[in-house]
Structure 1
Amino acid sequence: MKLKLIAPAWRESRTGKIKRFSFFPPLSLGILASLTPDDVEISLTDENLQEIDFQEKVDLVAITTMTAAAPRSYEIAEKFRANGARVVLGGIHPSAVPEEAVNYADAVCIGEAEDYWPELIEDFKGGQLKKFYRAGERKKFLTIPRPKRSLFPPKGYLTSITMQTTRGCPFACDFCSVTTFFGRTYRFCPIPGIISELRDLKAKLVAFVDDNIGGNFKRAKELFSELIPLKLKWYSQASINISQDDELLELARKSGCIGLFIGLESLSTQNLEAVGKKVNVVEKFEQAIEKIHYYGLAIQGAFIFGLDEDDKSVFKQTVEFAKKMKLEAVQFGILTPFPGTPLYAQMEKEGRIFDRNWAHYDIGHVVFEPKHMSPATLRQGFEWAWTEFYSVRSILQRLGLLRRNLEFLLALNFAYRRGVRHFSHMPV
């Protein structure tokens, strides 16, 4: 039996061309490979870096997809099915809309696949593949097997070593797909297993792809303490409330943390309250950012444009704030009602969604009617913000010459700068 694992590529928002870039390897597919019996021959293609060979003779194709890549995933599935292969679809998007996804596949995986993947393989071998496979009750502690990293492309990623130490998030923001997929849970991997794997990998730079690595302060302190002897560098994602614990920040610094992706989302208290982001307190943003910077940790702040209190002044206000606070990087996104989220249900009820092309659900398109500006104004302001923040002058002013991990931060900023050049009518 031959199994093909595929991570589909996203397309450029303006040209529609396939992007050939990815920060990280598809960790979930590496985990599936490790759960597959040894008698199965496995190959893996990350379309973000590699071409897919549609003529390859395979028996079963497994595709994991987020919403923006769903149309491409369906194209890939149809091509392989036309050549006689069976196809399984999984990931966040198929889990949110399984009845849609099954139109393009022989089976759909709903939720985390660890519990049922070996069963699915045996069902396929026996010719008894079911249409739907659903994750059972979530266990309190995670037992994530080591991924088969040898299947990943050897070059092209910001770092090839990614790990999950937790799953889920203790918060449930209305716009976020994390709670939809993992439930309102926050679960931990055993720390000894994490440390053992890192030692075996001889890791120097690691991306912990947790949704909120600091979601439980006590556990985060235990993990960071155990990371210190490894003398590695790492980055991850956390909530702004990590700034409340000096001991935790000091341990993060000592353990090699070079930066955190933090969802600031909005400078409007009303916006944050409306989407359930109660952990964010606008009045404390400056103090929190200064505290995190004091401990030498870089911040990539995430901001959402198009929330219900936003008007056209939001773009300049947000960019000026990000520059003033010398955020090392930012990610600006357009509010997007992903299927399965409370935001989607709300906007559907209000009749505000006008674009149902999933390829546009990439936080770079406007797919709904904003309340206080036109869709065109929202898109133009979004493009201006990216271009302004990643101008050469802005990069140099924010980073200076003495910033910790300057080489890495410059590389990140200029990678983003290259990405905004497709906003062709905006000067860079």
Structure 2
Amino acid sequence: MRTTALHVRLLMRVALVTVYSHPGCTLKDVAGGYGTVFEVGDSWRARLLEAAKARLADLPPLVLGYLSAQLRAAGHAVSLVEVRDGVAPEVDAAIVLSSIVDCEAERALLERLRERGVRSFVIGAHATARPQRYADVADVVVRGEPENLGAALLDLSDGVAEAGSVSDLDALPFPDWSPFPTDRYRYAFLSRGITLPVSSARGCPYACGYCPWRVTAAFRERDPARVAAEVAHLRDRYGATGVSFRDPLFNLDPDRVRAIANALMPLGMRFSGEMRADRLDEGLLVLLWRAGLRSLEIGVESVDRGLLGAHKRKPPELAQIERVVKVAQRLGVRVICNYLLGLPEDDERTMRATVDWAKRLDSFAVQFTVATPYPGTTLEAKAAPLPPEALTGFRPSVPHPTMSGDAIAALREEAYVSYHFRPRYMWRFARHAAAALWD
């Protein structure tokens, strides 16, 4: 095994690497950091929705921004390398962000890096949960939050290393996006300009058995003033007009969210976040809107609330969700509702009831994901061993007692197509798109 003796004394050319092997929309910094590949189906309408999704959202992984700041502060030359053709970068060291959806392509790249004599490090949720999938092809597999090590990550000896978790999020530097193509980053539901990610908190105290966020470190939060300072920095340094809060649950503490809203108020920035409906009232929604909230994600999952209880989910009442969506739409906040199909307790009747309810609610946008046995979730034990790339978040992969995987996939496609190609929805979406040109 190679040692790091020559590496720790030198300033290095370091590549931050993401690997993409799928056509269409692959998002790395979602599903607890495991990543997803957006899939609807094979019809022309499904393909149209997939193409639209690829144009709507593109955000960089936050962990790479933090590492960029730490490595550059230590004097290293940092570059971002997005590998789509399998070509390995010519650098001294490569830090590869792991994912489930591109695991085999990541392994192939790591083998080429080894052939070139490039020292390789693998980070991220997938490497943390399943280090053995990379240990034979990478020099170092880092479990945990690599920002806890910073530039000292490059000094690690070969093998699997434990980074632990960051106890004081406010002690981290602001992410450095200067090596990144910031002009490309966008979230069309929020702003026509540059959108960049921000984390105001990490972890989630809830224990929903099917959720990949449950396997991350404990809940920690940042000071609202520090959060606002970072948002101002993104505006002034990179020309961002919007920020996407990547917290698993932005409004866990309503009082803290009020403090963040008041701190953001003077900045004139738009923002989005994922929130629970039962921790939002009209007064808080109005305050958030005044501070710049223009896009809001809510987890509905299923209309069968008892079904969710079987997975330790404590869902808001449907009436609470309806009230939040109504108030948000009146204010001009675009609500995206997330639904989950194919849990073992689900059946065709309950899935169709969920889709029908989604149409009646008529939120600005929807997402219909499929139950996926992510590492560390309760669904993992119920699924047969599968290649990592099968776990896209949209492809049926959990054995179901009453429906085949093909039937669930067909229902997912029907849900997407029937929702988005309603005349009422198409007319409303066209009006929103036209208004955005002048917004």
Opposite residue 99 of structure 2, the aligned amino acid is M
Displacement of 1:53: 4.3
Structure 1 SS opposite 2:148: coil
Which residue, 111, 136, 147 being the options, matches 1:103?
136
The answer to whether structure 1 residue 120 and structure 2 residue 153 are counterparts is yes
The gaps in structure 2 that reach 5 residues or longer are: 1-11, 24-38, 43-52, 187-193
Which residue, 188, 204, 207 being the options, matches 2:221?
188
Query: For residues 220 and 7 of structure 1, what CA distance do their matches in structure 2 show?
Result: 32
Which residue, 188, 195, 206 being the options, matches 1:171?
206
Query: For residues 164 and 336 of structure 1, what CA distance do their matches in structure 2 show?
Result: 25
The answer to whether structure 1 residue 155 and structure 2 residue 183 are counterparts is yes
Query: For residues 267 and 155 of structure 2, what CA distance do their matches in structure 1 show?
Result: 40
Query: For residues 100 and 400 of structure 1, what CA distance do their matches in structure 2 show?
Result: 45
Partner of 2:353: 317
Structure 2 SS opposite 1:102: coil
* Contact 1:205-1:233 within 8 A present in 2 as well: yes
Which residue, 106, 120, 136 being the options, matches 1:73?
106
Query: For residues 43 and 51 of structure 1, what CA distance do their matches in structure 2 show?
Result: 17
Query: For residues 406 and 226 of structure 1, what CA distance do their matches in structure 2 show?
Result: 31
* Contact 1:305-1:332 within 8 A present in 2 as well: yes
Structure 1 SS opposite 2:340: strand
* Contact 2:275-2:297 within 8 A present in 1 as well: yes
* Contact 1:305-1:314 within 8 A present in 2 as well: no
Displacement of 1:207: 1.2
Which residue, 329, 332, 336 being the options, matches 2:368?
332
Which residue, 100, 111, 131 being the options, matches 2:159?
131
Deviates more, 1:131-140 or 1:268-277: 131-140
Which residue, 317, 330, 340 being the options, matches 1:281?
317
Displacement of 1:384: 1.2
Query: For residues 410 and 338 of structure 1, what CA distance do their matches in structure 2 show?
Result: 42
Does the C-alpha gap of structure 1 residues 238 and 293 become closer, same or farther in structure 2, counting only changes over 3 Å? same
CA deviations 1:199-228 (Å, max 9, x no partner) are 233342111111111111111110011111
Displacement of 1:34: 0.9
Displacement of 1:177: 1.8
> Aligned ranges for residues 283-362 of structure 1 at < 5 Å?
284-345=320-381, 347=382, 353-354=383-384, 356-362=386-392
Deviates more, 1:132-141 or 1:107-116: 132-141
* Contact 1:333-1:364 within 8 A present in 2 as well: yes
Does the C-alpha gap of structure 1 residues 76 and 90 become closer, same or farther in structure 2, counting only changes over 3 Å? same
Deviates more, 1:251-260 or 1:201-210: 201-210
Opposite residue 208 of structure 1, the aligned amino acid is F
Which residue, 272, 276, 287 being the options, matches 1:251?
287
Query: For residues 215 and 8 of structure 1, what CA distance do their matches in structure 2 show?
Result: 33
Which residue, 399, 405, 417 being the options, matches 1:369?
399
TM-score, normalised via structure 2 length:
0.81
* Contact 1:166-1:187 within 8 A present in 2 as well: yes
- Report 1 or 2 for greater relative contact order, CA contacts < 8 Å, sequence distance ≥ 6: 2
The answer to whether structure 1 residue 391 and structure 2 residue 421 are counterparts is yes
Opposite residue 290 of structure 2, the aligned amino acid is K
* Contact 1:98-1:108 within 8 A present in 2 as well: yes
Query: For residues 399 and 242 of structure 1, what CA distance do their matches in structure 2 show?
Result: 28
The gaps in structure 1 that reach 5 residues or longer are: 124-128, 348-352, 412-428
Partner of 2:67: 32
Does the C-alpha gap of structure 1 residues 280 and 78 become closer, same or farther in structure 2, counting only changes over 3 Å? farther
Structure 2 SS opposite 1:310: coil
Partner of 2:191: none
Deviates more, 1:147-156 or 1:222-231: 147-156
Deviates more, 1:172-181 or 1:114-123: 114-123
The answer to whether structure 1 residue 42 and structure 2 residue 66 are counterparts is no
Structure 2 SS opposite 1:169: coil
Does the C-alpha gap of structure 1 residues 308 and 148 become closer, same or farther in structure 2, counting only changes over 3 Å? same
Displacement of 1:371: 2.2
Displacement of 1:172: 1.9
Query: For residues 282 and 371 of structure 1, what CA distance do their matches in structure 2 show?
Result: 27
Opposite residue 25 of structure 1, the aligned amino acid is P
* Contact 1:107-1:130 within 8 A present in 2 as well: yes
* Contact 2:87-2:109 within 8 A present in 1 as well: no
Opposite residue 192 of structure 1, the aligned amino acid is A
Partner of 1:378: 408
Equivalent pairs counted in the alignment come to 391
Displacement of 1:91: 0.6
The answer to whether structure 1 residue 88 and structure 2 residue 125 are counterparts is no
Displacement of 1:110: 0.9
TM-score, normalised via structure 1 length:
0.83
Displacement of 1:140: 5.5
* Contact 1:66-1:91 within 8 A present in 2 as well: yes
Structure 2 SS opposite 1:89: strand
Query: For residues 54 and 427 of structure 2, what CA distance do their matches in structure 1 show?
Result: 30
